[in-house]
Amino acid sequence: MSFDKSRKDSPAKDADREQSDTEEVVISINRCSKVVKGGRNFSFGALVVVGDHKGKVGFGYGKANEVSDAIRKGGEAARKNMVALPLAGHTIPHTVTAKYRGSKVLMRPASPGTGLIAGGAMRPVLGLGGVVDVLAKSLGSSNPANVVKATFRAIELLKTKEQILEKLGKI
């Protein structure tokens, strides 16, 4: 067997290929200051959402002394925490409501051609997950971190028709 350098079997190249398939969106950047003897020290936190537009989406929060480092760390954390988003065509399978602390989200399936009707931090999460038609509403607190976490709780509650039938023992 001959060694072919053009093959992409190494884990590093697989990781590069996986990163090229995903898209990254920065939802919010928080600046924090610490007062020290010489003045103020600033640090940054970045909330990042990563998705492949095919039903996989994740979020991560990265903290660093530079904005670019915080975004990079947030993207790495988001890629590690990707979850599957069950889809029914181009929409979600059923209506779902979820809450995280002060934020509450409501998502409803929509007919083809409706579009992605969602606001705030929900929009990039659903868009990067591959949802094309959905009616979504964010209620309560508009804190981006809590809205994203509530959206992911709602995603965890989504089940496909096959999963529900299997649970009932019909399949």
Round to whole Å and give the CA distance between 126 and 110.
13
Beta bridge partners of 107: 96, 136
Same domain for 130 and 151? yes
Question: Most distant CA pair in the chain: distance in Å?
Answer: 69
Domain annotation covers residue 105: yes
pLDDT per residue over 38-56, tens digit each?
999 999 999 999 999 999 9
Domain annotation covers residue 6: no
At residue 38, the 3 state secondary structure works out as: coil
Domain annotation covers residue 114: yes
Same domain for 78 and 88? no
Q: pLDDT category, 18, cuts 50, 70, 90?
A: low
Domain annotation covers residue 147: yes
pLDDT per residue over 51-88, tens digit each?
999 999 999 999 999 999 999 999 999 999 999 999 99
Domain annotation covers residue 2: no
Total tally of structural domains belonging to the chain: 2
Task: Report, as an integer, the average pLDDT of 92-115.
Answer: 95
Beta bridge partners of 104: 99, 139
| Cβ(24)–Cβ(78) below 8 Å | yes
Same domain for 92 and 140? yes
Round to whole Å and give the CA distance between 104 and 138.
6
Which residue, of 83, 103, 126, is where some domain finishes?
83
Same domain for 95 and 159? yes
Phi, psi (rounded to 5 degrees) for 54: -125, 15
Tokens of 123: 């929009």
CATH number assigned to the domain comprising residue 122: 3.30.230.10
Round to whole Å and give the CA distance between 126 and 128.
6
Same domain for 92 and 141? yes
Domain with 37 in it: 11-83
Domain annotation covers residue 117: yes
Same domain for 79 and 92? no
